[in-house]
Amino acid sequence: MVWRRLLGKEPKSPTGRDEVTVAEGARTATRGAPQPRPAISRPSGPRDEAARERRRRELLRRRDAVLFDIEQGELALRPENPWQARIDLLGDALATIDVDREALARRPPGPTFPLPPVPITEIEATAGDQAAVRFTVGGERFAFGEEVDWDERGGAVVRGDLRHQEGDASRLIPPEAPADLRDALAQHLTDSLAVFATDLRDRALASEQLPAAPTLADLARPCLECGGWGDWHGRCSACTRRDLERQGLNAEAARLEAEQSREAEERHRWAERLPVAHRRLADIEADLAALGE
C-alpha cells in the first residue's frame, strides 16, 4: 500500500471518500456521543428497612384480624355456639310472654258494684272566658271551674281541664257497697264526674242542649268485660289498663323476635365469611414469607 501512496495511486472507497477520513470521522462521532454509565450497586439504606418493617407490621395486624374471622366462622358452624345459646334464651323469654298473654286473655272479670240511679239535678253550665259548671247528685253539690291561661299575645289559649272546686265523690257510694271496692269506686267516680263536667262545659260553649235526666248510675256503669266501671262516655279505665298491658306484652314479644333474627343473621354471616377468610390468610402468609418471615 505504501507504493500506491508514493505513486499517487491510492484507491478511494466506494463512497468516494478517503477510508482514513471516514474512519477518523467515525472515531470522532463515537467520542462525541454520551456513553452509558455502569450501574452502581448500593446497599439498602434505613428507608428501605423502615418500609419493610411497616409492611411487616401491617401484614401481622391483618393476619390477626383474619384469624379472628376464622375463629368466629368456625365457631358459628358448631352445633353449640354463642349465637344459638342466645337464641334459645330469647325463645324461653318468648314462651313466658305467650303464657302471660294467654293468662291475660283468660282473666275473668273482676267484682263490680252498680250504683243506684240517683238523679243529677240543678245543672248549670256557663260559657265565656272562664267557664263554670255546677250540679247536684243526691244531696252533694259539685262545682268545677276553668282556669284561664293566656298566650304571649294576650289571647286565651286552648281550653284545658276543669278544676274540681266543690263536692266529695266518696259520699255518693251507698253504705251497702263492698268494702274492698269502695276505694276503687270512689276513684272512678272522681274521674267520671270530671268527664261529666267537661262534657257540660263543651255543650255550653257549643250552644248545645244539656243532657236530659242524667243519673249517678250513668257515671259508673259496670263493665262486663273486666269488672270495672265505665265513665260518663262509657270508657272503662280497667279495660284501658288491660289494653296497655296487652300492648306491652306484644311490643316485648316483637322486640325479642327481632333480636332472635339478628342473632341468626350474625351467625350466618360469620359462617359465610369463613372461606373468604381462609383465602385472605393464605395471601397474607405468602406476603410474609416473601418478607422473610
Q: Is residue 73 in a domain?
A: no
Instruction: Read off the DSSP letter of residue 219.
Output: G
pLDDT per position as a tens digit, 18-30 = 444 444 544 544 4
Q: Is residue 180 in a domain?
A: yes
209 vs 1, more confident: 209
pLDDT per position as a tens digit, 94-113 = 999 999 999 999 999 999 99
Q: What is the pLDDT of residue 20?
A: 42
pLDDT above 70 coverage of the chain, percent: 80
Residue 139 pLDDT > 80: yes
At residue 130 the predicted structure's pLDDT band, cuts being 50, 70 and 90, is confident
Distance CA 55, CA 241 (A): 65
Distance CA 111, CA 228 (A): 8
Q: Is residue 192 in a domain?
A: yes
Question: What is the domain extent for residue 179?
Answer: 120-151+159-222
Distance CA 115, CA 113 (A): 7
Q: Is residue 26 in a domain?
A: no
Q: What is the pLDDT of residue 234?
A: 94
Residue for cell digits 265523690?
169
Q: What is the pLDDT of residue 105?
A: 93
Distance CA 23, CA 4 (A): 19
Residue for cell digits 463512497?
15
Number of structural domains the chain divides into: 1
What radius of gyration do the chain's Cα atoms show? 50
The residue type at 232: W
Q: Is residue 86 in a domain?
A: no
Q: Is residue 128 in a domain?
A: yes
Residue 266 pLDDT > 80: yes
Q: Is residue 47 in a domain?
A: no
The residue type at 229: W
Distance CA 220, CA 118 (A): 12
Residue 6 pLDDT > 50: no
**Can you state the percent helix, strand and coil of the chain, rounding each to 5?**
55, 10, 35
Q: What is the DSSP string of 252-275?
A: HHHHHHHHHHHHHHHHHHHHHTHH
Residue 39 pLDDT > 70: no
Q: Is residue 66 in a domain?
A: no
